[in-house]
Chain A
């Protein structure tokens, strides 16, 4: 059973298009995240949701719009894709803050290539 699953794993698209990446976790976690990993492997947080509510928006352009229909799902929609959006996007989940030292469980990543 995959704990955090993302789809699609690979996405190749043209500049200006709109695309979505879906994420689901079956761990019963309340908190979910989107991270972006660039070509230098630097992993940067984009968004964090706790029980469907946005709690972190790390100065991400408003072309990126996360949506959490329920606490097991966190999708990422990107409008008007730009070359600089090419990266690997990781979804992760964790228990809520205050649950002790927390552990992030990551999905396998979605590699987005914008041409």
Chain B
């Protein structure tokens, strides 16, 4: 069974701090995605990484795909209250089956 473990599970930080969320698996994925989910809504895609070692930046968010395509990280610089939400990584096994990570709940305090 493919599993994606995220850490930390919960994170509460002050506005302006930096943070990193990790997404780890023993399985190889053809691509990996990061989603953010807000209360009462469905997850919304932030980024897709495809190539091992790939780094993508989205304003203050930096995403990295591991060289072996088994893990990924999300780094947020100078977090803001608007970054609060549930962050989910999702691995694409290439067979219409996206495996979601265990989730990281982030709260950024003003």
Contact = CB atoms under 8 A, between A and B. Distances in A.
Chain A partners chain B: yes
A103 B33 contact: yes
Contacts of A44: 100
A87 B98 CA distance: 19
A83 interface: no
B102 A42 contact: yes
The range of chain A's interface size is: 20 to 34
Interface string B77-110: 0000000001010101011111110110100000
Contacts, number: 66
A107 interface: yes
B43 interface: yes
Interface of B is mostly: strand
A101 interface: yes
A47 to B, nearest CB: 10
A102 interface: yes
Given A43-B88, A103-B33, A108-B41, A56 B100 contact: no
B31 interface: yes
A105 B90 CA distance: 13
A34 interface: no
B50 interface: yes
30 contacts: A4-B42, A31-B96, A33-B96, A41-B37, A41-B105, A43-B100, A43-B103, A45-B97, A45-B100, A50-B96, A90-B42, A90-B43, A97-B95, A97-B96, A101-B31, A102-B31, A103-B33, A103-B48, A104-B33, A104-B35, A104-B45, A104-B90, A104-B98, A105-B45, A106-B43, A106-B44, A107-B42, A108-B40, A108-B41, A108-B42
Interface of A: 4, 31, 33, 35, 40-45, 48, 50, 55-56, 58, 90, 92, 97, 101-109
